[in-house]
């Protein structure tokens, strides 16, 4: 098959790397790709939001299957457009991707179908939002309704912080239309984990669990980021809670979407909090998580094309996962998630056979590969134990230790 992957980050590099090992792939294209992806696929210079050109490219190059990484084109209807052009695509329609695109929609779906999540209310009016915060007290969580590149959530420890978040979103329009409505949510305590599943209508095939580390600095301090590292599988979620999460959260959600006329095809990602009352939904994503994918796909034993092809044909793909552990540490530009400089030359990274380097924000120049984003790359290791995976990853990351242009967390998986 000829395959097209849409996206340019670490997640897409991992997907492309996995696809590059498939005997079923004839030609692999990634649009637009990055400096790491170019070594495993042909990068095509089309922006992920340029859906017209992507459709034309797919038709002209006889693409048999397209896989979409990021959320923005999903919400813009890329799957709808590909299907209308008679192209096969492993991605949700915009009607289904709304589960990520509108937190208010996700909340109303969960309320209607009794899917466990934090109590919440949605507001457009500043005074009403503040009255609700006054009544509920802090800590409390304020979320922009729409897509905000992972930046639209404020976990407010005081009422004042919560009021400021409401002002930023509803008055100063910090997220423009994405913040025209805010969801105000009960603060959940517990351990977070990510559960992704391959979904086609009511058919749900869970992947192994993973844990992302979203705060910028060690000990979960500092601002939220796109993710500073991850590991899989998560070992501190009891089996009964995991079964509950699969049955009562992910399968129930897939079924609910079908009932609502929004049948979902693609990766349904549940961000969960294991509370004293059991797992509850923090958020849904309509796509592969980043950086969770970077540590989950290396554990998948199946050929990814076999899996996606089976699922689209209504067959059970028989997912098989390695018993090993996988851990990845993100190396970021100093200053991220605030302002940072680009164009810093990367040092040479020496890795073992069980390790990998995944590019996120990098660019090929005459001087070599340079940084081109906040999260630059991820160093990952697959090993028999989580401790081994962590130790080896950090040994490799050491090359960045004295380089002031970059930083990374020292406590991923601890
Ligand atoms: P999200 O972008 O929705 O995943 O939110 C970013 C992060 O904020 C999550 O990974 C959690 O750590 C935190 N968070 C979101 N909602 C809640 C909540 N209701 N209670 C506690 N923490 C939350
Ligand atoms: N790792 C969280 C996300 O992909 O949104």
pLDDT of residue 177: 87
Atom 2 (ligand 1) nearest CA: 150
- pLDDT value at 191 more than 80: yes
The per-residue pLDDT for 239 is 97
Counting ligand 1 atoms within 8 A of each CB, the residue from 101, 152, 153 with the most, and so the one to mutate, is 153
pLDDT tens-digit readout, 324-348 = 999 999 999 999 999 999 999 999 9
In DSSP terms, 90 is beta-bridged to 67
184 SS3 class: strand
Strand partners for 371: 362
Which of 74, 75, 209, 226, when mutated, tests ligand 2's pocket best, judged by the most ligand atoms within 8 Å of its CB?
Answer: 226
pLDDT digits (tens, 9 = 90+) for 291-312: 999 999 999 999 999 999 999 9
- Asked if residue 138 has its Cβ within 6 Å of ligand 1, the reply is no
**What backbone phi and psi angles, to 5 degrees, belong to 171?**
-100, -55
Q: Name 397's Cβ contacts closer than 8 Å, sequence gap at least 6.
A: 329, 331, 379, 408
- Decide if pLDDT at 196 tops 80: yes
Mean pLDDT across the stretch 215-241?
Answer: 94
Interval 60-113: pLDDT, tens: 999 999 999 999 999 999 999 999 999 999 999 999 999 999 999 999 999 999
Cβ–ligand 1 contact at 272 (below 6 Å): no
Are residues 344 and 371 in contact, defined by beta-carbon separation less than 8 angstroms?
yes
pLDDT at 286: 98
Nearest bound ligand to the CA of residue 139: 1
Q: Is 198 helix (H, G, I), strand (E, B) or coil?
A: strand
Residue owning the nearest CA to atom 5 of ligand 2? 289
């Amino acid at each position: 098959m000829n395959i097209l992957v849409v996206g340019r980050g670490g997640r897409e590099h991992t997907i492309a790397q996995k696809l590059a090992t498939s005997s079923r792939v004839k030609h692999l294209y990634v649009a637009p790709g990055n400096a790491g992806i170019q070594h495993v696929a042909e990068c095509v210079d089309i922006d992920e939001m340029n859906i017209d050109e992507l459709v034309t490219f797919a038709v002209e190059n006889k693409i048999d299957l397209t896989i979409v990484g990021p959320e923005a084109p999903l919400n813009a209807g890329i799957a709808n457009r590909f299907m209308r052009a008679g192209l096969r695509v492993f991605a949700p329609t915009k009607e289904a991707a709304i589960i990520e695109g509108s937190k208010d929609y996700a909340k109303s779906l969960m309320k209607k179908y009794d899917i466990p999540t934090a109590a919440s209310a949605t507001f457009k009016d500043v005074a009403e939002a503040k009255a609700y915060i006054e009544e509920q007290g802090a800590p409390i969580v304020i979320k922009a309704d729409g897509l905000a590149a992972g930046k639209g959530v404020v976990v407010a420890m005081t009422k004042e912080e919560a009021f400021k978040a409401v002002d930023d979103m509803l008055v100063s329009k910090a997220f423009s239309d994405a913040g025209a409505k805010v969801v105000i949510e009960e603060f959940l305590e517990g351990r977070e984990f990510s559960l992704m599943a391959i979904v086609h209508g009511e058919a749900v095939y869970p992947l192994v669990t993973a844990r992302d580390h979203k705060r910028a600095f060690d000990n979960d301090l500092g601002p939220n980021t796109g993710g500073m590292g991850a590991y899989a599988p998560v070992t501190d979620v009891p089996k009964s809670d995991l079964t509950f999460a699969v049955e009562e959260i992910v399968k129930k959600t897939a079924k609910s979407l079908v009932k609502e006329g929004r049948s979902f095809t693609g990766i349904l990602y549940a961000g969960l909090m294991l509370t004293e009352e059991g797992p509850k939904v923090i958020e849904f994503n309509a796509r592969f998580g980043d950086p969770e994918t970077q540590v989950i796909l290396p554990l998948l034993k199946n050929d990814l094309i076999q899996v996606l092809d089976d699922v689209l044909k209504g067959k059970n793909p028989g997912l098989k996962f390695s018993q090993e552990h996988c851990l990845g540490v993100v190396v970021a530009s100093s200053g991220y998630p605030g302002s940072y400089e680009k164009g810093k030359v990367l040092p040479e990274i020496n890795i073992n056979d069980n390790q990998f380097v995944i590019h996120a924000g990098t660019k090929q120049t005459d001087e070599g590969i340079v940084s081109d984003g906040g999260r630059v790359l991820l160093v990952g290791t697959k090993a028999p134990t989580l401790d081994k995976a962590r130790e080896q990853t950090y040994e490799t990351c050491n090359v960045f230790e004295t380089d002031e242009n970059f930083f990374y967390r020292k406590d991923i998986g601890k």
